[in-house]
């Protein structure tokens, strides 16, 4: 007891603690910003040259493209987070459009749901009653979602000082919030199964659910019509968000080290080691990267047997699960004026070229293809690809429709993405026709868009850039190239209740916290920020 008091007496403050943060995605950046502001000794380590992880932008010949998120969802988190850190970032409106075949609606208010209903009734006139049931349920979920996002998240508020927020907003909202959370917890079944209860007509249910990852929880999926109204876009591109946070870290004295990949973590010695053999000692470690990678790189040397057992149990659990869907993205520089695309849709556009729906193409057919890949002729794989590209839903982003400065005058930058299975690309790469397959996918996307929403687009291409699930795995280090953490195809191995989110950052590893898209599900930019802050708070409240 006396020795501990003596050590504590010589320590000037808890801020003497050395904090190492691995991963400069949104979670790592958030943790580093808060700890740096609190004057902790912070080292942020990132394996890539660029920071931001899946939230990034790049330039090519005067065009700016966003590599990950196409818009950013506020969720009652982003705006108060920026205010709390004193970050001044110009945030532009990012209205969404939804299109099927030749019809496009613009989502500008909650009343736009009626336009969506009319569109579905026009496409499926024999199933109007089913459409009504689906739309009525979406309306109910929108009200619940509005409660969840109804106020700025109180985690960013000093409730002792801001009494007006506490008594006028937080306390009246709290009861509604708890009821809303209970409702969300009861709607965790896969959206596909839920929609089957509302309609037996597969094309109709497909056209609604194929926007989302396979087996997305019903509440998360069906609340998205409200989420569309919550989107914004940072002027200059989505990459401006991590860049602004990074500048605050530097301003507050945080240290950063990029192009540095961690190869080993030794908890008993409180050090991490990079690929070049450099050691980085820590008092606390925050892991803001892929969790499978964390557990694959932990050394058990000199750890207590009980602790080692818990770590191994967690490792076995995580390694038995897989990441969620990945994406294939095509970046196009076009010799076409923005006005042509603005006449069709807003700058964030979810487009489905056919009302037929994917059916089993991206499920049982795809699984059979992957399982029997070695015995499947290339022609058969490409025939599957024909159907997949013709019937899929595309997320299309036109950055300059929100910020015209992001393209040269008279030109348009187009980003076309679709959900794509990592395992198929992995098989193709192992069979040594990865480059050919990329081109085949690209050509079919262009053919589909030319024959539907963007006639003659192929003749206007100045350049093209591709991003595949393999690219995401290699660059970001995200297992299975996943873009939102764990797959929903079986129960997720992490916290998935808002009421338990403070437990999401806890690990069985001494003095190690976790944060980011892999620690809570469903995930996204707001959750990455929230868990990054919670991990930082756990350290700031910890005493030596």
Q: Which of 200, 232, 264 is the last residue of a domain?
A: 232
**Does residue 160 sit in the same domain as residue 283?**
no
Could you state, in chain order, the average pLDDT of each consecutive group of 10 residues for the chain (544 residues)?
31 70 98 97 97 95 95 95 96 97 96 97 98 96 92 91 91 92 90 96 97 93 93 97 98 97 97 97 97 96 95 96 96 97 98 97 96 96 98 98 97 98 97 97 97 94 97 93 93 92 97 97 95 97 60
In this prediction, residue 185 carries a pLDDT of: 85
**Does residue 157 sit in the same domain as residue 246?**
no
Q: Which of 192, 215, 232 is the last residue of a domain?
A: 232
**Does residue 208 sit in the same domain as residue 260?**
no
**Does residue 223 sit in the same domain as residue 109?**
yes
The domain tally of the chain equals: 2
Q: What span, in angstroms and rounded, lies between the C-alpha atoms of 145 and 359?
A: 29
For 78, 92, 381, 399, 533, the CA distances from 84, given in Å and listed in that order, are: 10, 19, 51, 27, 12
- 507 falls within a domain: yes
Q: What span, in angstroms and rounded, lies between the C-alpha atoms of 479 and 491?
A: 17
What CATH number does residue 265 fall under?
3.50.50.60
**Does residue 126 sit in the same domain as residue 158?**
yes
**Does residue 145 sit in the same domain as residue 216?**
yes
- 263 falls within a domain: yes
pTM of the full predicted structure?
Answer: 0.94
Structural domain boundaries enclosing 184: 92-232
In this prediction, residue 117 carries a pLDDT of: 98
User: Do 256 and 24 meet the contact criterion of CB atoms below 8 Å apart?
Assistant: yes
**Does residue 256 sit in the same domain as residue 198?**
no
**Does residue 130 sit in the same domain as residue 221?**
yes
Q: Which of 212, 232, 252 is the last residue of a domain?
A: 232
**Does residue 96 sit in the same domain as residue 228?**
yes
**Does residue 228 sit in the same domain as residue 264?**
no
**Does residue 227 sit in the same domain as residue 243?**
no
- 284 falls within a domain: yes
Q: What are residue 72's phi and psi, to 5 degrees?
A: -125, 130
**Does residue 274 sit in the same domain as residue 301?**
yes
């Amino acid at each position: 007891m006396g020795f501990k008091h003596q050590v504590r007496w010589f320590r000037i403050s808890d801020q003497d603690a050395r904090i190492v943060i691995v991963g400069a995605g949104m979670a790592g950046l958030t943790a580093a910003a808060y700890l740096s502001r609190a004057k902790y000794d912070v080292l942020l380590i990132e394996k890539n040259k660029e920071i931001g992880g899946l939230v990034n932008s790049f330039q090519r010949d005067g065009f700016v493209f966003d590599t990950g998120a196409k818009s950013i969802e506020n969720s009652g988190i982003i705006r108060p987070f920026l205010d709390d850190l004193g970050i001044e970032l110009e945030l532009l409106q990012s209205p969404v459009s939804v299109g099927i075949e030749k019809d496009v609606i613009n989502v500008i208010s909650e009343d736009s749901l009626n336009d969506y209903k009319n569109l579905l009734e026009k496409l499926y006139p024999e199933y109007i009653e089913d459409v009504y049931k689906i739309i009525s349920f979406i309306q109910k979920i929108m009200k619940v979602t509005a409660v969840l996002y109804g106020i700025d998240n109180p985690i960013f508020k000093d409730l002792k000082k801001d009494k007006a927020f506490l008594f006028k907003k937080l306390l009246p909202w709290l009861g509604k919030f708890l009821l809303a959370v209970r409702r969300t917890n009861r709607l965790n079944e896969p959206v596909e199964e839920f929609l089957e209860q509302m309609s037996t007509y597969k094309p109709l249910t497909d056209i609604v659910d194929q926007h989302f990852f396979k087996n997305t929880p019903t509440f998360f999926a069906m609340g998205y019509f409200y989420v569309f109204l919550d989107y914004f876009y940072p002027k200059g591109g989505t990459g401006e968000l991590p860049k602004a946070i990074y500048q605050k870290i530097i301003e507050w004295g945080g240290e950063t080290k990029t192009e540095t990949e961690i190869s080993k973590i030794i908890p008993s010695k409180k050090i991490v080691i990079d690929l070049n053999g450099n050691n980085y000692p820590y008092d606390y470690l925050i892991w803001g990267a892929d969790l499978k990678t964390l557990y694959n790189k932990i050394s058990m040397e000199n750890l207590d047997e009980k602790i080692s057992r818990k770590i191994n149990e967690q490792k076995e659990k995580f390694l038995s699960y897989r990441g969620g869907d990945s994406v294939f993205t095509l970046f196009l520089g076009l010799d076409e004026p923005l006005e042509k695309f603005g006449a069709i849709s807003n700058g964030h556009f979810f487009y489905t070229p056919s009302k037929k729906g994917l059916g089993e193409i991206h499920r049982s057919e795809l699984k059979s293809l992957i399982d029997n890949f070695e015995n499947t002729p290339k022609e058969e794989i490409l025939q599957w690809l024909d159907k997949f590209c013709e019937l899929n839903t595309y997320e299309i982003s036109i950055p300059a429709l929100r910020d015209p400065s992001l393209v040269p005058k008279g030109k348009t930058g187009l980003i076309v993405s679709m959900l794509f299975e990592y395992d198929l690309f992995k098989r193709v790469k192992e069979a040594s026709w990865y480059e050919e397959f990329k081109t085949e996918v690209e050509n079919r996307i262009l053919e589909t868009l030319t024959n539907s929403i963007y006639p003659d687009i192929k003749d206007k291409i100045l350049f093209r850039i591709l991003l595949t699930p393999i690219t995401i795995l290699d660059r970001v280090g995200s297992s299975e190239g996943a873009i939102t953490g764990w797959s929903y195809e079986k129960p997720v191995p992490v916290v998935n209740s808002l009421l338990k989110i403070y437990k999401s950052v806890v690990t069985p590893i001494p003095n190690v916290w976790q944060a980011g898209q892999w620690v809570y599900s469903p995930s996204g930019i707001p959750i990455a920020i929230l868990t990054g802050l919670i991990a930082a708070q756990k350290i700031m409240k910890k005493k030596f």
